[in-house]
Chain A
Amino acid sequence: DAGITQSPRHKVTETGTPVTLRCHQTENHRYMYWYRQDPGHGLRLIHYSYGVKDTDKGEVSDGYSVSRSKTEDFLLTLESATSSQTSVYFCAISESSGGGSGANVLTFGAGSRLTVL
């Protein structure tokens, strides 16, 4: 169990307000990711991190920023939320799949459902 906790699990906010979602992991994994899930689009990568203070953009990063000041926490911030950012947000970590293959697998948190009115 990768011990991934997302908070809040549900949030309703208004257009133009800032929102921060938190992802917390307990096992010191180096790589952490934020995805959004929308019908018809599957999972799309927003940002990812490969270490403390090391982050990079994904395919849908506009309107989002991230921070990682500690190994265990990866924060996703919507500076000014818009209705198009209504979605379910998933945090994930990358960990070894075992067996000596060199492959990693993603393990996901339970998700944060954000509604922007």
Chain B
Amino acid sequence: AQSVTQLGSHVSVSEGALVLLRCNYSSSVPPYLFWYVQYPNQGLQLLLKYTSAATLVKGINGFEAEFKKSETSFHLTKPSAHMSDAAEYFCAVSPPNTGNQFYFGTGTSLTVIP
């Protein structure tokens, strides 16, 4: 089975600082990779996805993530944090030969300090 590890269940950054949320997966075959964001009391929203095209993927709200096969990583970054970025972030993977199986990390809660 796939596993997804998100290092750091809580991350705090100052407003304007770099946001870096880490995600590593375990798989011998590169899966499809996703980041979802959950704002308080809301459902999950797709932030960005890697589906075996460009390794640097740009998403909504200025976020991007880079797929690094050698490191089995898909870290999420944003150059300058905004107060509105405070949310829970989930990394997820989907094995390419299944198409409809998804595995989630345990989430990282991002706090932005004014």
Name A residues whose Cβ lies closer than 8 Å to a Cβ of B.
31, 33, 35, 40-45, 48, 50, 90, 94, 97, 99, 101-111
Q: Are A101 and B107 in contact (CB under 8 A)?
A: no
A residues in contact with B44, CB < 8 Å: 43, 90, 106, 108
Please measure, in the bound complex, the distance between the C-alpha atom of A50 and the C-alpha atom of B101, giving whole angstroms: 11
Q: Is B53 an interface residue (CB 8 A)?
A: yes
Name B residues whose Cβ lies closer than 8 Å to a Cβ of A.
9, 32, 34, 36, 42-46, 49, 51-53, 90, 92, 94, 96, 99-100, 102, 104-107
Q: Are A103 and B49 in contact (CB under 8 A)?
A: yes
Most buried by B among A43, A44, A97: A43
Can you name 18 extra interface pairs (CB under 8 A) apart from A42-B105, A90-B43, A104-B100? Answer: A31-B100, A40-B106, A41-B106, A42-B90, A42-B104, A43-B90, A94-B100, A94-B102, A97-B32, A97-B49, A99-B51, A103-B51, A103-B96, A104-B94, A106-B44, A106-B102, A107-B46, A111-B42
What 3 pairs between A and B have smallest CB-CB spacing? A101-B51, A42-B106, A103-B51
Please measure, in the bound complex, the distance between the C-alpha atom of A107 and the C-alpha atom of B102, giving whole angstroms: 12
